[in-house]
């Protein structure tokens, strides 16, 4: 199966009935795609914005509305997403999409400010859309923690407060991400490394899996130090489950995938599924990057018996989680429903 590449986002033209789906966020990159399209005129005919209830930071609502107004949308539709009680968001998005998708030829899904759960649910609810889907992702110029902050955290626990997220609240399960197949079989838990090890530990505490397999995140070269850092954070678990987490000659996990190119995530999950999927139930924890989460969605389509769960972080480091904008990316998939169908078949 050939999946489209991650490319630089195009400057869009008018003349296509286009829906924008995004989220109010507090980071610079939450405005990345809309600001990038500034000057293109009325390229949108509708917009659906997911608005966080109990937000983790001060969301830039007025700025995003102003940016959308320059693209033709003066009154975007809004849906509230309760971070403390997210269980009804699947039905809410489903109802909204049934109305909005019937009127458009193209959807721009901006995942830059979305939680991983929202990314997965929105993509699931687009599977019957016959038009084009543009998955837009704005890469931040700087991410937290910096390498200096990470090194200091090893000596001073106070610096852990500057990691992107801390702790955990609950494990969220959605109908569109679940699977009842392979019940009673041994469980293989597949998780992505991050700067919050407690997310994986919480998953382990609720299911006692037969094995734990990590996919380490491999950032672009300018942030490559983070690959070793996220592995170090999970080192005790890597050592405890060493049989399923082999290390290469450089001391890094052999099982790794780009944090930007979602296709590598699909390849790693395919390899794991082919090795264990016939005899074990595979549960995936959505703990990776946003683009790795896109790859997780397509893997779920390819292997419907994979079960996906989302461990919710307890809090976020808002002040410097990320800032500036480095680049605006997109993945363009024409006739989305046919593409999804071809993956499944």
Among 342, 328, 312, 289, smallest CA distance to 82 is for 312
**Residue 341 CB: number of other CB atoms within 10 A?**
13
Residues of the chain with pLDDT under 50: 158-168, 315-320
pLDDT of residue 143: 87
Biggest CA-to-CA distance, the chain? 57
Query: Where would I find the beta strands (DSSP E) of 219-291?
Result: 256-258, 281-285
Fold of 150-316: Rossmann fold (3.40.50)
pLDDT of residue 169: 61
Alpha carbons 71 and 182: distance in angstroms, whole number: 48
Four-residue CA torsion sign, 71, 73, 79, 84: positive
Distances (CA, A) of 42 to 14, 16, 32, 78, 224: 6, 10, 17, 19, 39
Pick the CATH number of 7-143+322-344 from 3.40.50.11700, 3.40.50.2300, 2.40.100.10, 3.50.50.60: 3.40.50.11700
Task: List where CATH 3.40.50.11700 sits in the chain.
Answer: 7-143+322-344
pLDDT of residue 58: 86
Place of tokens 């790794």: 256
Place of tokens 């507090």: 26
Query: Where would I find the beta strands (DSSP E) of the chain?
Result: 7-8, 18-23, 46-53, 77-82, 106-110, 132-143, 165-166, 171-172, 187-192, 211-218, 256-258, 281-285, 307-311, 315-316, 322-333
pLDDT of residue 152: 86
Place of tokens 């904008």: 325
pLDDT of residue 167: 39
Under 8 Å CB-to-CB from 95, ≥6 apart: which residues? Answer: none
């Amino acid at each position: 199966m050939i999946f489209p590449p991650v490319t630089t986002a195009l400057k869009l033209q008018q003349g296509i009935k286009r829906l924008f789906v995004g989220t109010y966020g507090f980071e610079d990159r939450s405005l990345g795609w809309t600001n990038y399209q500034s000057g293109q005129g009325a390229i949108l005919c509708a917009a659906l914005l997911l608005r966080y209830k109990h937000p983790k930071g001060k969301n830039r609502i007025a700025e995003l509305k102003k940016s959308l107004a320059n693209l033709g949308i003066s009154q975007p539709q809004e849906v509230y997403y309760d971070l403390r009680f997210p269980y009804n968001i699947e039905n809410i998005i489903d109802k909204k999409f049934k109305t909005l998708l019937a009127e458009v030829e193209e959807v721009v899904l901006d995942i830059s400010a979305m939680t991983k759960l929202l990314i997965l649910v929105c993509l699931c609810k687009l599977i019957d859309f016959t038009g084009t889907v543009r998955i837009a992702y704005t890469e931040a110029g700087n991410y937290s923690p910096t390498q200096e902050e990470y090194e200091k955290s090893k000596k001073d626990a106070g610096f852990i407060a500057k990691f992107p997220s801390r702790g955990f609240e609950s494990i969220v399960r959605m109908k569109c991400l679940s699977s009842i197949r392979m019940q009673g079989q041994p469980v293989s838990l597949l998780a992505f490394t991050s700067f919050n090890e407690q997310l994986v530990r919480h998953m382990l505490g609720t299911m006692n899996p037969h094995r734990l397999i990590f996919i380490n995140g491999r950032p672009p070269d300018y942030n490559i130090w983070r690959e070793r850092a996220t592995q170090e954070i999970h080192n005790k678990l890597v050592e405890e489950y060493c049989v399923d987490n082999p290390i290469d000659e450089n001391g890094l996990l052999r099982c790794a995938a780009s944090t930007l190119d979602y296709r590598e995530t699909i390849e790693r999950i395919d390899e794991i599924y082919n090795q264990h999927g016939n005899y074990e139930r595979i549960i995936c924890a959505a703990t990776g990057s946003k683009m790795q989460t896109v790859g997780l969605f397509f893997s779920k389509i390819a292997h419907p018996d994979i079960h996906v769960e989302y461990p919710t972080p307890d809090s976020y480091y808002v002040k410097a989680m990320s800032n500036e904008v480095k680049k605006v990316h997109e993945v363009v998939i024409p006739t989305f429903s046919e593409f999804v169908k071809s993956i499944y078949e």
